[in-house]
Amino acid sequence: MSRLASGLAIPRSPYQVSVVVAPDVGIRHVLHGRESAMPRPAASLYEAHLALKTDSHNTRARELGHFSQLYAWADAGKVDLDEVLLTGQGLTAPQIRAFAAWMRKPRAQANGVIPAEKRPSINAAFRAASVICTWFIRQYANPSSVTNARRTIEIELLVEAQKNAWKEVLIKVPKHSAAPDMTDEEIAAVEGFLKPETRSESVGHPIAWRDYLMWRMAIEFGMRKSEILAMRLSDCPTRTKPYFKIVRIEERGDSYVDPRRNPPRPKTLSRDLNMLFDNTVFPRLVTDYVSIYRYRSVEVCGRRQKRFLLPHNFLIIAESGNPLSLRAADDVANAIAQGTGVDFNWHLARHAFFNRAYAAVAGAESKEAREAQINDIVFWGGWEDPKSLEIYSRRARAERARSALMVWQRGGNQWSALL
């Protein structure tokens, strides 16, 4: 059980989501009782809806995880959730408030206040529950109206009422003023710690080179962890195509196979990323890593040929030779944090990259040039909406303000009107 500041504990859920690999169907999920192993009817229908809606296994598992919270609350409160949902009733406002109180209680501090860092996850559960309830209302609500038009209007009124009831229980979340960042000293510390020349002695050559490769992909290109782990050899830069290819899983085609139980899925748009810096370690770092640890030169009919060592073509691998898992990548990040004293995670490196990219663009002389370069950053990051850069713009404004104050404190500028 998870222990919180209030001294309460979040009880172990009586439900769990299991992965099922079905022939000719692929990965599916089942929400069932932890002890009884019996699947829940409403959740099974909703999983079928999710399977048609999204290709992301992680999204389906996450949404069913939220569904399991509804079931756990319903069992505790003697509510027949399957009947409520499968008859298209939705939850009543008192039931929604009861679920919200049930979610908040074990996560609150002793004074009843929900810590700021826990509020987004609680709100995510509320929003997911709202989507679940409204989906069942649209599917199964059966108003008594005679005409189809009137029935449609009444269903939409029920949906709107359900959405409003869930909105009322959302907890206010303070907006982050700026994206997190790494100082140049912290970047240098991680770079020094991961240098294969020195780290190979403690972890071995293959791991040292792999971890350094992951770090440089993150800090030089702003890649997400999932993008790094999903990278295939055919996506890496070559002499004729000197760029990394970021490809969404659904664009890989039916022949794409990932042996990991929880395969990483790039969330951003597909794109090609070329080298930015004169002192880049690419493409040579990839070339050396692949030639040493992924191929072997063998003699065939008197001629030397390169042969794959592994049955897959993912770039980043574990010691076993399997593609590196998301959890193992987090273990690497934890090792970096322990070895450097930097509160490191892979997404922090992405933030460090885009903080600097945005700061450089913000200094463009003309508005037209600035807008064009911002659009380039949006494409580079794989975002669909320029609003994704707002956390970096706030960081840039804060840094400019801080720099201006430093100039004044040094006496570099004088405000004559105040003398």
For 266-280, the pLDDT digits (tens) are 888 999 999 998 889
Give the SS3 label for residue 271: strand
pLDDT at residue number 1 = 37
As a residue count, the chain comes to: 419
Residue scoring higher pLDDT (415 or 335): 335
Among 324, 389, 381, which residue's Cα sits nearest to residue 362? 389
With bands split at pLDDT 50, 70 and 90, how would you rate the model's confidence at 388?
confident
Q: Is the Cα dihedral 170, 175, 179, 183 positive or negative?
A: negative
Distance CA 66, CA 325 (A): 23
Indicate the range of 61-65, 69-73, 307-311 predicted with least confidence: 307-311
As a whole number, the mean pLDDT across the chain is 87
358-385 confidence digits (pLDDT tens): 888 877 778 888 888 889 999 999 998 8
pLDDT band at 213 (very low <50, low <70, confident <90, very high): very high
- How far CA 412 is from CA of 363, 366, 405, 409, in Å, comes to 20, 26, 10, 8
Say yes or no to pLDDT of 14 above 90: yes
Candidate from 89-103, 145-159, 218-232, 402-416 with smallest mean pLDDT: 402-416
Q: 128 and 61 in contact (C-beta within 8 Å)?
A: no
Inter-CA distances, 52 with 28, 195, 344, Å: 11, 45, 37
Which range among 4-13, 56-65, 144-153, 171-180 has the greatest average pLDDT?
56-65
Residue range 332-355, pLDDT digits in tens: 999 999 999 999 999 999 999 999
- Identify the three-state secondary structure at position 339: helix
CB atoms within 10 A of CB 243: 17
Of the candidates 211, 186, 193, the one whose C-alpha atom is nearest the C-alpha of residue 330 is: 211
Residue by residue, DSSP assigns 56-113 as -HHHHHHHHHHHHHHHHHHHHTT--HHHHHHTT----HHHHHHHHHHHHGGGS-TTSP
Residue 97 pLDDT exceeds 90: yes
Q: Kind of pairing, strands 9-10 and 2-3?
A: antiparallel
Residue boundaries of the structural domains of the chain: 2-167, 178-419
Q: Record the tokens describing residue 194, joined without a space.
A: 């991961």
Q: How many CB atoms lie within 10 A of CB 413?
A: 9
DSSP-derived secondary structure letter, 400? H
Per the DSSP assignment, residues forming a β-bridge with 271 are: 246
How far apart are alpha carbons 219 and 232 in whole angstroms?
Answer: 19
Distance CA 29, CA 412 (A): 63
Q: Which fold has domain 178-419?
A: hpI Integrase; Chain A (1.10.443)
